[in-house]
A = this chain, B = another copy of it.
Amino acid sequence: MASSQCAGTVDARGLTDVISRLRRALRRSIRTDYPWELRPVAQVEVLQSLGEGGVTRVGDLAERLCLAQSTVSALVGQLVSAGLVTRDVDPADRRAAIVALSSAGRTDLRNWDTAHRRRLRAALARLSPTDQRAVLAAVPALGRLVDALD
């Protein structure tokens, strides 16, 4: 009664709270999955974005990921050193850098993805069908919420 209010009222605390906790829980579960050599999560996110969006400029990556350009620049640098992505000068606009997955990066991403998907699916399977539906339905809506936040 205290926590659920009339439908129109947004429970801001509830949403931000669950987002933080979920992120940390996911991070922890990832670490459990990968006791061996594991890339920092931020780097994996860059790989994923490249996996989905394909070859991209650094600035576009930053926007997609809601990160500052300088942050992405540094992350890409780390991934280049690790051999997981390539960074080349765009011949059309020589200021720009074209970032792409290397084949090693593609493999790494695929492995990570498989394990992570398995774990998340297991967790979801423990929820009630109603909750599962609610989570699935929320994913695209939350994406649009990100855009609606400034």
Contacts and interface: CB of A to CB of B under 8 A. Distances in A.
A49 to B, nearest CB: 8
A45 B20 contact: yes
A148 B135 contact: no
Interface string A12-27: 1111111111111110
A139 B24 contact: no
Count of chain copies = 2
A143 interface: yes
B135 A13 contact: no
Interface string A124-142: 1011001110111111111
A93 interface: no
- Most B-side CB within 10 Å, residue of A45, A66, A116, A149: A149
Contacts of A117: 10, 12-13
Chain A interface size range: 35 or more
A11 interface: yes
- Most B-side CB within 10 Å, residue of A45, A49, A52, A139: A139
Contacts of A126: 148
Contacts of A7: 136
Interface string A45-69: 1001100100000000000011100
Interface string A84-126: 0000000000000000000000000000010011011101101
5 contacts: A21-B66, A25-B146, A28-B149, A123-B149, A138-B141
